[in-house]
Amino acid sequence: MSTHRSRYRRIATILEHHGLGLGLGLLGLEKWIPFNKGVLGHARRDEPYTSPEHLRLALEELGPTFIKLGQLLSTRNDLLPAAYLAELVKLQDAAPPEAWEPMKAVIREELGADPEQLFAQFDPQPLAAASIGQAYAATLHDGTQVVVKVRRPGAVAQIHEDLEILQNLAERADKRWDAARQYNLPGIVEEFSRTLRAELDYLQEGRNAERFAADFADSPDVAVPQVFWETTTSRVLTLERMHGIRVDDLPALDAAGIDRNQLARRGADLILTMVFENRFFHADPHPGNLFIQTDGSIALIDFGMVGQLDEEVTEQLSDVLLAFTRGDSNALATALLALSITKNTSDRGELGRSLDVFVSRYLGRPLSDINLSHLLGELLALLRHHHLQLPQQTALLFKVLMMGEALAARLDPEFEMLQALTPFSERIVQRQFSLPALAKRWAQASADAGALLLELPGTLKQLRRVLENGGLEVHLRAAELEPLVGRAERIGNRLIAGMITAALISGIGELVSGNTRWRSREGVMIGAGASVVTALGGYLLWTTRRRR
């Protein structure tokens, strides 16, 4: 702690300044100390400051790291109430511009020459200034217009110090405060640290841009700027400059003859493709990062914050989707517990009852009557009530879907995000029951069974020693059996599905290869076998996941 003494003191001073107002707001006593009248240096205004406003003001005053933390928390509907989310969304990463000479020195240190030599033109007045870096307009010697992002001197050292302090505070809170343990504060800070450190590395941002470009190489509706690696390092990033109309500038879009209804559908399709097909998505698709070019294509910029879904989380999300569409609240509870980072919901039965109410509210309603943002917001509030916490990437995904729906609805008030989502969800279900997916489950089940068999001798020896030393005392609660039952079910499902798959594939293969009379019908038989495997696998999954 002594190595960060001055920074700890600064943080403590700011929290003391705003923390008093925050605490009084939580107690409903804010009217007795008029912060809005200038007490303790607050800006004067007529209305009292709310607790969420005190939090936002404190984060702004604490600087770049805490502003970024607040921006991240603004995506976490599963952690914070709506009033705090609405206030944290206002956090802006803008900062007063750094003087030109220190920024020019960074370019010289990184690229080995002054910008006047490296570029045909370079405007020293920044296009934008943020807490981590600044963006400049420039032109390459071949005439290509580019944007050059330059990291501020000293930004990394301050952020690394703040991240160490946050980790220390989270660890202490986790040991001393029951509420902190429920929300896994050290895990939240660790995920945040990884995200922010990735944002600091302009090489990583360049690689992100190239991956998006590769993902949409065959799509004329999407434009991604080219990265110029000759003038790019971890502290300097040179990208092709994208021109166009901001996606939320409705008068300009209308004047340019852009069909806003069609644009809403193309924008939603872009976001859904990133999330559900590529599983690599832009995690900050606000209007300032989306431009409509003269040919109608959508140009993406700013690739510092991205989300990525691994295969396990994708399968867990598929389970959630399947359970919800079937209206099976028990299966939905199991799927959400599997997806959650924290498993310590206070009452599994109460969770199931809450989900009964949630599912019944939407079951059977036409898609046109359902607002995706409201549905996700209600689900996330339910998770927060039961102390369940989503992985950060999943929380980002939900936030991106809600941002996408809001933006599309602004372009076309009649737009329905759930209808746009339908074909993607259908493909997810098809992949769940495909032959490769079933075969993979068989392989995973075999591995799980093998691991259990290897553990069995040691477990039996431990059990014998316990029995010899006086026997067992068993104290069980139903909630504690859920992980064991769930694992046994998953292994059994995989084994049975794998046995069905293996038997049918083997039988069809032997019949076709061993009898020439059937070879002419090889395609028909393989197709029929695939359909049977899919149907049996789907029926098995549906029946075995119904929890009684």
Residues 380-437: tens digit of each pLDDT = 889 888 888 888 888 888 889 988 998 999 999 989 888 888 888 778 767 666 666 6
More confident site: 371 or 38: 371
Mean confidence (pLDDT) of the chain:
80
Query: Which is nearest to 69 in space by CA: 176, 189, 155?
Result: 189
Structure tokens at 436: 């490769």
Residues in the chain: 548
Write the CA distances from 345 to 174, 320, 350, 353, 479, integer angstroms.
17, 17, 9, 13, 9
Q: What is the pLDDT of residues 527-546, one digit of tens each?
A: 555 555 565 555 555 554 54
Contacts of 399 (CB under 8 A, 6+ apart): 75, 77, 283
**pLDDT reported for residue 306:** 92
**pLDDT reported for residue 29:** 47
Give the percent of the chain with pLDDT over 90: 30
- Helix (H) or strand (E) run with residue 276 in it: none
Structure tokens at 278: 């590529």
Q: Which of 81-90, 109-118, 315-324, 514-523 has the lowest mean pLDDT?
A: 514-523
Q: Is the pTM of this model over 0.75?
A: no
What positions carry a catalytic annotation?
284
**pLDDT reported for residue 548:** 45
Write the CA distances from 540 to 331, 449, 490, 543, integer angstroms.
14, 19, 11, 5
**pLDDT reported for residue 474:** 56
With 80 as the cut, is the pLDDT of residue 490 above it? no
With 80 as the cut, is the pLDDT of residue 525 above it? no
Residue type, 413: P
C-alpha to C-alpha distance for 236 and 200, rounded to whole angstroms = 10
DSSP 138: E
C-alpha to C-alpha distance for 260 and 48, rounded to whole angstroms = 41
More confident site: 110 or 37: 110
Res. 7 pLDDT band, cuts 50 70 90: confident
Query: Which is nearest to 283 in space by CA: 303, 312, 301, 257?
Result: 303
DSSP 50: P
C-alpha to C-alpha distance for 228 and 205, rounded to whole angstroms = 12
Res. 362 pLDDT band, cuts 50 70 90: confident
C-alpha to C-alpha distance for 310 and 355, rounded to whole angstroms = 26
DSSP 411-447: H-TT--HHHHHHHHHHHHHHHHTSHHHHHHHHHHHHH
268-302 b/e (C-beta count within 10 Å ≥ 16 → b):
bbbbbbbbbeebbbbbbbeeebbbbeeebbbbbbb
Residue 176, classed as helix, strand or coil, is helix
Among 66-80, 209-223, 316-330, 511-525, the range with the most confident prediction by mean pLDDT is 209-223
Q: What is the pLDDT of residues 308-344, one digit of tens each?
A: 998 888 888 888 888 888 889 999 999 999 888 876 6
With 90 as the cut, is the pLDDT of residue 231 above it? yes
HEC sequence for 225-285 = CCECHHHCCCCEEEEECCCCEECCCHHHHHHCCCCHHHHHHHHHHHHHHHHHHHCEEECCC
Q: CA gyration radius for the chain?
A: 28
Query: Which is nearest to 319 in space by CA: 466, 173, 425, 390?
Result: 425
C-alpha to C-alpha distance for 417 and 421, rounded to whole angstroms = 6
**pLDDT reported for residue 297:** 94
Query: CB–CB of 298/221 below 8 Å?
Result: yes
195-208 b/e (C-beta count within 10 Å ≥ 16 → b):
bbeebbbbebbbeb
C-alpha to C-alpha distance for 232 and 451, rounded to whole angstroms = 47
By DSSP bridging, strand 222-223 and strand 298-300 are parallel
HEC sequence for 53-95 = HHHHHHHHHHCHHHHHHHHHHCCCCCCCCHHHHHHHCCCCCEC
C-alpha to C-alpha distance for 335 and 329, rounded to whole angstroms = 10
**Hey, which residues does 222 pair with through a beta bridge?**
298
Residue type, 54: H
C-alpha to C-alpha distance for 132 and 180, rounded to whole angstroms = 29
Write the CA distances from 366 to 328, 406, 410, 473, integer angstroms.
18, 20, 22, 53
